[in-house]
Structures are given as structure tokens and as C-alpha cells.
Structure 1
Amino acid sequence: MTDNPKLVPAEELVRRSTRRPLPNESAEYRAARDALLVEEIELRRHLARVAAQRRTLPPGGAVTHDYRFVGAEGEVGLAELFGGHDTLFLYGMMYGPERQQACPMCTATVANWDPEVPHLEQRIGFAVVARSPYPRLAAFAREHGWDHLKLYSDPSGDFWQDYIGETRDDDMAGYSVFTRKDGTIRHFWSVEGGPEIADPGQDPHGAPDPNSLWNLLDLTPEGRGTDWYPSLSYP
């Protein structure tokens, strides 16, 4: 139950529902589905509370290092990734120079973002960074038909070490949000935690999961499964 007195209890909202039963469903199914809908309403509310709590974080640390990236237009600084906005979402993709191929999970994640970039860029700056040289990233993007994502190389690894991995060569994924106000760039929020925060039988994904692949699979009876992982290509 919600502790916000302004919200109608989820059970009451379910009772108000005017949706008619689906063909041939049993009374047992409807009762179980209504109980699940109560939990779905509470989950929606909890996600909204978490998002509101995130927005009230105090100012994060100021970015004082002159991070340099290489993209389609050459070398740029962090400020230029904002694209005229005051907020920047930056994803660190596992595609270091020692990898023969990019991480399949990272690839699946950014692939589902590519068509959303024009919408996202109405409100925020949005960029993907990896440690491989930019020509390699650009070739990978062309191979996968990404038309909108802005990819950048972090050649020095300075940004990577400070905000993504433990070291410059720590090939892991991560995402961070930065803000800019009165000329000062600050860190706002980054995904945190690894295997040590995972619940039994689960991977340590955050909530909400930014990868729609998993959100869609969560709606199916098989769920995410325990023995499947995305591939870079399929027969």
C-alpha cells in the first residue's frame, strides 16, 4: 500500500476498472490477474518515488578535469557532448581496443536506443563512449545500421577511469548523468553496484532497467531465463 494519502489505494483502482474480461478466462485467472494489477500499480508508484528521490539528490561533484573525446567531428570536450542542453546522459560501452568484438549486451542495449535519440535530444544530450579508437566505433555503428547514436572514443581513458571502470583498461559498462549550470559541469548520478548487490538467481541490473529487451522479456511466462544471452548476430 502507498503511504501517500493523496493516492487512491491500488485495490480500489482495480475495483474501478471498467475493462471487460478477456475471452474464456476463468474466475481464478481474473482474481489472480487483479491481484497482479495491484502489484503493478504499486510498482509504478514505487518507480515514480525512486525517480523523484533521484531528482532531489544534492549537487554532485564538480567536473574539473578536461576530458577529451574523439568523435565524428574530431576532438571534443565533455561540455560539447551536452548539445546545447543542461543535462547529458553518457553510456560507457564495453568495446575496448583489446576486444575483437563489442560486448553483445552493450550492443543490444544501445541498438534499442538508436531510434530514440532524436526524441531524447529534444530534452538532453545523449552520447555513447568506448575505449576503442573512433574509426573502429564508427565502422561498428555502420555495420549495425545505427543512424542516430553519437559515439565517441575515450583515447586517454581518463574519463573511463573516473566514471566507468576502476582503471583505464577496466572494460566494463556503465552510465552516468551530468548537469551544467552557470558554466559548471557536475556529476548528477551514475549506476552503481555489481555482483555484490545482486539478489539470488539474478544479475545486478538496476531499476528501472534501461534495456527494453529485458523489460519485454519480463512480460512473458519464460521471463529473462538463466541460460540465454544476446548475440551480435543471428542466423
Structure 2
Amino acid sequence: MTSSVLKHASELAKTNTNRFPNESAEYRRARQALLVEEIELRRHIERVAELRRALPPGGEVTRAYEFTGEAGVASLGDLFGSKQTLVIYSYMFGPQREKPCPMCTSFMATWEEKLPDIEQRVAFVFVARSPIARLIEAKRARGWTRHKVYSDVSGDYTRDYVSRDDGDVPGYNVFTRHDGTIHHFWAGEMGAGTVDPGQDPRGAPDMDPLWTVLDTTPEGRGKDWYPKLSY
């Protein structure tokens, strides 16, 4: 995106002719001002995505990681399948946890229906530290059929790319493979140290559209509400 050729967001906002029954002049002024910010937000999201795509190669993966999946043992390279890019979402379901994390489950439930689309472009798998039988049981309990789940039995991958002390925390990592060589490409690095006052630690943009939807409502995402495994 070349900012020099873009019209000012306020000019684009002026082209908006939407009006709704019985709205006040005060509402329309505020809504038009908000529209300007929404246009700027869209542009900023695209700028960030461009910067991400332009990253130089990350560190080469030289360690032989092994995972246990539903079909047996697999290497990191195996997880790519025929794709050049691999996304690994590490979810919070370690051996010490009685049930999967509700927040991770919310993410994964959303992606269940989008995996056929995502996998047209890249490989996408899910990794946790519990034994594979436990991951399969939890997957079936949710009615998920599309998730490719793997157990990081040794914890080597988790300690290198998610939590150095093997903590039960989430992680989102992207890897690329060219001419047989695997490099780390990008990981979510926003956390407790990057949070603004009054916010929960989260990345940007939110991967879970749950929050995007709630952000369009007067109730918003709230300060103390979180999704549950069941209601």
C-alpha cells in the first residue's frame, strides 16, 4: 500500500450515504467521525500485514522435532504436507489440566469450519503437551473432525517456540520451507509485558472473531467475561 496515492480517510467517509430511520444529527456526526477512524484502522491492518510479509527469513530450524499424531509419529517437516507454509497453534491442554482451556477452545471452535479454506493456502495443525489419546478424546467431545492434533511428547518444540519453562501457555507460530530447509517466519509476541492498562493480554488483530463481533456492540468485550466450555 502506497500512502501517497491514497485519499484522506475523511474524503472517503464523505462518500458514505447511509442513513437510518430517526437518527439524530448528533449521531450522524459521531458516526461519520468513527467511519474515518475505521478506514484508518483498515489501512493500518494492511500496513502491518505488509510489514509481516516482508520479514527476512527467521531462524533456521535445525533440531529434529517429533510429534505424535493420530496416525503416529511425525516430524516437523511432515506437518507441512505439500505446503510451503505451516501454522502451528499450541493450545493449553497440558497433562496437569483437567479440561482444555476455554479461550483456546473458543479459537479452535471458530477455526474448525474455516480449516478447509485455510488449508487451500497453508498447512495448519494444533499441538498440546498432553498424550495424543487425550487430545483425540477432547477433540471428539467437541465434535471436531477437521483439526489435525499432535502431542509434543518430549516438550522440545514447546520449550523452543512456546515457553522456555514448558509452561501451559498458548503459542502461534508460522514456519516456511524452501528447498527442504525450514525457517521460523513469525510468532505472536504480544503478552503481559505489552498490554495497555485495563486490557487483557492479547495480540492484534484478534485471531478469534468472537471479540471482533463483541467490539461492534455497546456491551463490548467487557472486563471480566470470558467464553466457557459450555453454558
- Please say whether Structure 1 and Structure 2 have the same fold, judged by a TM-score greater than 0.5: yes
Q: How does 1:38-187 map to 2 (within 5 A)?
A: 38-168=36-166, 170-187=167-184
Alignment coverage as a number of residue pairs: 231
Identical aligned residues as a percent: 55
Q: Distance in 2 between matches of 1:203 and 1:217?
A: 15
Q: Tell me the equivalent position of 2:188.
A: 191
- Deviation readout 1:123-166 (Å, 9 max, x if unpaired): 00000100001111111011101111111100000000000112
Aligned letter for 1:9? H
Q: What TM-score, normalized to structure 1?
A: 0.96
Aligned letter for 2:153? P
Residues 191 and 203, structure 2, Cα contact 8 Å, conserved in 1: no
Unaligned runs of 5+ in 1: none
Unaligned runs of 5+ in 2: none
Aligned letter for 1:70? T
2:4 aligns to what SS in structure 1? coil
Change in Cα spacing, 1:183 to 1:42, as seen in structure 2 (3 Å) is: same
The root-mean-square deviation of aligned C-alpha atoms, in Å, is 1.2
Aligned letter for 2:11? E
Show structure 1 runs of 4+ deviating over 4 A. none
Q: CA deviation at 1:3?
A: 8.0
Q: What TM-score, normalized to structure 2?
A: 0.97
Change in Cα spacing, 1:46 to 1:109, as seen in structure 2 (3 Å) is: same
Aligned letter for 1:14? A
Q: Tell me the equivalent position of 1:6.
A: 5
2:3 aligns to what SS in structure 1? coil
1:5 aligns to what SS in structure 2? helix
Q: Distance in 1 between matches of 2:2 and 2:17?
A: 25
Change in Cα spacing, 1:124 to 1:26, as seen in structure 2 (3 Å) is: same
Aligned letter for 1:221? P
Aligned letter for 1:206? G
Aligned letter for 2:4? P
